[in-house]
Amino acid sequence: MKRRVLIIGAGLAGCYLATQLQTSCDVIIITKGTRNDSDSMLAQGGIAAALATNDSPAQHAEDTLAAGQYHNSLAAVEQLVTTGPSLISQLIKQGMTFDHQANGQLDFGLEGAHRHHRILHANGDQTGAALTSFVQQQVQQIHWLTQTTVLELIVKEHQCCGVLVRHSNTQKTEILPADVVVLATGGLGNLYPYTTNDATVTGDGFALAQRAQVAITDMAYVQFHPTLLMINHHCDGLITEAIRGAGAHLVDENNHRIMATFPQQDLAPRDVVARQLTAWQAQGHQLFLDISPVSNFEQRFIGVTANLDRRQIPFRQTQRIPVQPGAHFMMGGIRTDLNGQTSLPGLFAIGEVACNGVHGANRLASNSLLDCLVSAAKASQTIKDGPNLLQPLNLTALALQPQRSGPITQVSVPSLTELQKRAWQQLGIVRQPAALHDFLNWLAPYQLSKLCPAQLTDSQLTVVNLGLCAQLIAKSALAEPTNLGANYLVRES
């Protein structure tokens, strides 16, 4: 009998896992939005892999470790850089098309903290959408459950054996039994008012794991991307790092080059650039990306150009784009081994929601899509080929269990706007221990961990899940003895 696998999340990690399992398992993908709602679809920069003749996995590993401040797991990095190229080659053989040079060779781009041109792009700056859509087209033997929110992991006899869901169209709750549950829910960017993340990315996987007492690690390490398009204090999309790789410079209103004195200058690691831009902004300066050195900008960055035109940014006249740092990626997450297994039998985690140590304290640019493929591929091998993962349970009886009635309105939670404002001020790019304690003290009276998800509205659940993530970030940041990568504390003297 086929194993029943529930995959939570419609991004690249979850969909690629589904392609690997669809012939051997009964697979269901559950997403609270549509098939197109994920950070994977928004990824602009590309996917990193040592496929060029002058490059090697060892050099890719060195760059990954340096960017991660050597907080990485060596085994996880080795697995990423050695397994990734073969997976990309397989996708190319299956028909995935990456951008090529005029001579027919793959066109490798350069991004921050990479010493070599090793970034593959598709449709210019629309790699994530092209790659995720291609993988989704290969998913043909599974069942989709869209507009469906996972409320809780079902844990019986110390193993995960299903999920409790709520269908958005009917508001009815239902238990879905499973032999294996895989969290591929992405990050938590919407904890912050400025983020590159899709609106559906609200820390759900971390909150599900915490409620089930699954091990979580390294939550202090939130990456802030240096260049979000900012108009009147509102984020209107990502300005890919590949533009700086093509020669653009970060400047202020006086055209002063902000990163000129730093090693690697505009292509320094993201934590370094984000902190410098924040400091520059605090001095009253405006932030811009000077694109005048970039040849064929509109042809190379089609998606960014279209977005700038939609927002009526006069970049052709000024050759500048207004930018600001914003929340981008979570390096920490649900602790897993190299095969995606969590501390709870029957539960796997892959992609951004998981932490096997590959990204360390600061993710190297364009390693995220690669990690989606690698972590999914390794998890699929364990799920397909491993021994029985669980003890036999009566899953039919489990599905028939009565559910707690939902939603009620007598729940006190902070507003999303207030939570985001405080998170930006106190859990942002530069932190202070006193501010972290103040944040935890502000959130404590709400007792978020005691609230029952099935008794919350969708909007309340979003705030609660993000609030639980915020508590994890603050506590993790305070527990770190030294500043490292994306966790930067200004400590009292």
Closest C-alpha among 361, 372, 347 to residue 83: 372
CB 39 within 8 A of CB 11: yes
From the list 270, 275, 300, 422, the catalytic residue is 270
Question: What span, in angstroms and rounded, lies between the C-alpha atoms of 69 and 67?
Answer: 5
Q: What pLDDT, on the 0 to 100 scale, is given for residue 408?
A: 53
**Predicted confidence (pLDDT) at residue 462 exceeds the cutoff of 50:** yes
- H or E, element range at 398: helix 395-399
Average pLDDT, the chain: 94
Residue ranges in 427-457 assigned as alpha helix (H): 433-443
In Å, how far are 9, 128, 187, 421 from 39, measured between CA atoms?
Answer: 10, 8, 9, 22
Q: With a cut of 70, say whether residue 405 has pLDDT above it.
A: no
Q: How far apart are CA 212 and CA 219, in angstroms?
A: 17
Write down how long the chain is: 493
Percentage of residues in the chain with pLDDT exceeding 90? 89
Q: Is the pLDDT of residue 396 over 80?
A: no
What pLDDT was estimated at residue 266? 95
How far is Cα 75 from Cα 72, in angstroms, rounded to an integer?
Answer: 9
Is a pLDDT exceeding 50 seen at residue 186? yes
Rounded percentage of the chain residues whose pLDDT exceeds 70? 95
pLDDT number for residue 410: 73
How does pLDDT run across 51-69, given as a tens digit for each residue? 999 999 999 999 999 999 9
Residues 6+ apart with CB under 8 A from 238: 42, 44, 196, 225, 227, 228, 229, 328
pLDDT at position 161: 96
Q: Model confidence at 45, in pLDDT bands (50, 70, 90)?
A: confident
Nearest to 441 by CA among 480, 483, 486, 478: 478
Segment 40-58 mean pLDDT: 94
pTM above 0.85, yes or no: yes
What per-residue confidence (pLDDT) applies to 338?
98
Distance in angstroms (rounded) separating the CA atoms of residues 76 and 58? 13
- pLDDT surpassing 90 at residue 121: yes
Band of residue 112 on the pLDDT scale cut at 50, 70, 90: confident
pLDDT value of residue 385: 82
Please give the pLDDT value at position 481: 85
Q: Using the predicted structure, report yes or no on whether residue 402 has a pLDDT greater than 50.
A: no
Tokens 């410098």 correspond to what residue? Answer: 276
DSSP secondary-structure letter at 183? E
The confidence score (pLDDT) of residue 234 equals 84
**Tokens for 361?**
């304290």
491 flagged as catalytic: no
Q: Is 68 helix (H, G, I), strand (E, B) or coil?
A: coil
Q: What is the pLDDT, as a whole number, of residue 347?
A: 98
Please, what is the end-to-end C-alpha distance for the chain in angstroms? 63
Residue with the larger pLDDT of the pair 112 and 320: 320
For 37-53, the DSSP string reads -SHHHH--S-EE---ST
Could you read off the pLDDT of 218-274 as tens digits, one per residue? 999 999 999 999 888 888 889 999 999 999 999 999 999 999 999 999 999 899 999
For the chain, list the domains and their CATH numbers. 227-325 (3.90.700.10)
Over residues 320-348, mean pLDDT: 97
- Kindly state the average pLDDT of the residues 321-326: 96
Read off the pLDDT band of 406 (50, 70, 90): low
**pLDDT of 98 above 60:** yes
- Give me the pLDDT at residue 361, please: 97
Q: Please determine, for residue 388, whether its predicted confidence score (pLDDT) is greater than 70.
A: no
Contact 178, 194 (CB under 8 A): no
